[in-house]
Amino acid sequence: MQSSSEKSGISISPSAVIATIATIYFIKKTWHGMPRWLKKHINASDADKENKTEGTDSSENGDFDLSNPSTIFEKAKLMLDLVDQKIDDVMPDHLPNTKILASLLGTVHLYEEMETSIPHHREKFYREVSEGDVSKQDLCGLVQKMEYADWAYDDHRADLKDKLEKMSFDLLRFDQSTEPGRIGHYIAINHVEKVVLIGLKGTSTISDVLTDIMGDGADYYLESPFDENYTSKQIRAHEGILTAALTMADETQKLIEKLFLPCKYRVLITGHSLGAGTACLLGLLLRSRISALRGDCKEYLEVFAFAPPPVLNYDAALACAPFITSVVNNSDIVPRMSLPNLVTLHKLFLKVHHKQEEKGLLASPCALAKDLIKVDDEFIMPYEELSDFYKEIHKNEDVRGEDSLFVPGRVIVLCPIGEEREKGEEKSSKDAVDFFGVIGNGSMEMLKRVEPYLSLFADHLGASYIAHLKAASKDCESTTV
């Protein structure tokens, strides 16, 4: 008896059947692994898109809708192109990548040498360019706030719930769904202390990375000025993070305005990294939208931001001091990742390259990498010359330029207390180091440059923030929520 396929003249081989099944399985797995925001866009019909376009009101604010993948990648590309353009303006075309890498390694080596040979120069510098030291008691209160921020990374609701209950908080909301312009977060309430806690998660998914990359400054017009010291309704902010903050403000405003404030509950917003930047802008937006937070209840909103990227224009960043406390750990690169700082860093690379040529230090990048943590007698340039380099760079800077964004609020920077090391001695990561903190604002000199120490990435980790805050605040006790 002939099969139906043979009767119709169609031949189906077993390999074709297997290939078809494998293809269907692959498509299914790809679909399930696809981010929710991308599925939502694929599922949208053309009619829905047309209706959405027709129903959109024009306003003075730009388009902060990041639901369209083509819009996301276009904005990300524009930002990356802008960075390339600024760096290309600094670096000569003829300089090969191996030379740039060698100058990078030479710069790191220079900083590590100075930390060892002039162990107290950073302490002196940080104190000179700040308003002074922070008290241990103030630092001690920040340890718990950082732990609240770190808890936002928890993937499991039950684990987070247990941690919060130990601090007398009840978990109200746990949302780990992310998409470009939206970040994971939790909301908890402490009925004893009458505190509402909003914890915002930092970068942990590809969607978060896309939010980070959309870092061009975007103008935004507020409903009302957010502080008496900043009468303008216009701010300029990191576009991707502003979008995330707008989403959070839309979701929390009525809850805060209609329920928590009438019941005299304080609102505490905290976050780390991307979550910190979003926390800053969320606090600003809520103060703009809710008049009570600028008046009788202005002390009812506090923001504690750990490792925030530069997200706000100069004047607005300084005006956030009454309600935002930002913390920067040592050489953490993220709070220094502004476009002007990247340009300055590449100018330093170029200066180091010229010094390497003058001194005949044209070793391969591999050879230079081996000596990164070794101390020798040969500085590629003296500390005074490096200081003069930065002074010259910042002499004519425009802090209100369209590319200039700053860490908001009153800013605390943690710094290690210098330790003496013998020549040739390598630094051990196991050695305990004491820390202290200085306070100022986002325009302090140590934040207007990338500090290329070997720890610049490790200093960004939440665990490092907690450890260094504890080291800076040891022997004190905190009773604050």
As a whole number of angstroms, the longest Cα–Cα distance in the chain is 95
Residues in Cβ contact with 39 at an 8 Å cutoff, skipping those fewer than 6 apart: 31
Tell me if 204 sits within 8 A of 221, measured CB to CB: no
The candidate with the shortest Cα–Cα distance to 70, out of 32, 41, 34, 31, is 41
The SS3 of residue 194 is coil
CA angle 182, 331, 278 (to 5 degrees): 15
Tell me if 340 sits within 8 A of 397, measured CB to CB: yes
Task: Per residue of the chain (481 residues), give pLDDT as tens.
Answer: 544 444 444 455 555 555 545 544 444 444 445 455 454 544 544 444 444 433 334 346 766 777 677 888 888 888 888 888 999 899 888 788 888 888 998 899 899 888 888 888 999 999 999 999 998 778 888 999 999 999 999 999 999 999 999 999 999 999 988 788 899 999 999 999 999 999 999 999 988 998 999 989 999 999 999 999 999 999 999 999 999 999 999 999 999 999 999 999 999 999 999 999 999 999 999 999 999 999 877 889 999 999 999 999 999 999 999 999 999 999 999 999 999 999 999 999 999 999 988 887 765 556 555 555 455 556 789 999 999 999 999 998 899 999 999 999 999 999 999 765 555 555 555 556 899 999 999 999 999 999 999 999 999 999 999 999 999 988 676 556 7
Give me the phi and psi of 323, to 5 degrees please.
-130, -5
Rounded to an integer, what distance in angstroms lies between the CA atom of residue 210 and that of residue 70? 12
Rounded to an integer, what distance in angstroms lies between the CA atom of residue 145 and that of residue 276? 12
Quickly list H helices, 364-420.
365-370, 383-394
Q: And the tokens for 84?
A: 């390339």
Rounded to an integer, what distance in angstroms lies between the CA atom of residue 112 and that of residue 89? 28
The candidate with the shortest Cα–Cα distance to 444, out of 417, 410, 418, is 410
Rounded to an integer, what distance in angstroms lies between the CA atom of residue 338 and that of residue 335? 8
Report the predicted TM-score, pTM, of the whole model to 2 decimal places.
0.85
Compute the CA torsion angle 278, 283, 284, 287 (nearest 10 deg). Answer: 160
